[in-house]
Amino acid sequence: MNTLMIGIDMLGEILSAFIIGLIITGLAALVVYLIYRYGVYLLIGALALIVFLGKVAEKIIALLIKITKKSGKMAMRLEEKIAG
């Protein structure tokens, strides 16, 4: 019975890897087709999207740092009130 369960588990892992491989292959084929079809315009758009996402990520990280500092200060104040 234990061997059967291990076999079923392995089959699930193999099928998952196969499906993920199909998805990645399909996306790669789509990208190759779009580059073939639209060429330079698609690459310029992709670079613009990367720059835009970088700016957004930078602002999100700055906001998270600000929130973390504020929560740290609040925790220190609360600790001081409890201690004193």
User: Domain coordinates of the chain in residue numbers?
Assistant: 1-38, 39-84
**55 has pLDDT over 90:** yes
> Which residues make Cβ contacts (< 8 Å) with residue 43, sequence separation at least 6?
35
Q: Kindly indicate the confidence band of residue 73, based on its pLDDT and cuts at 50, 70 and 90.
A: confident
pTM score = 0.44
Residue in 7, 30, 8, 26 with CA at minimum distance from that of residue 18: 26
**5 has pLDDT over 80:** no
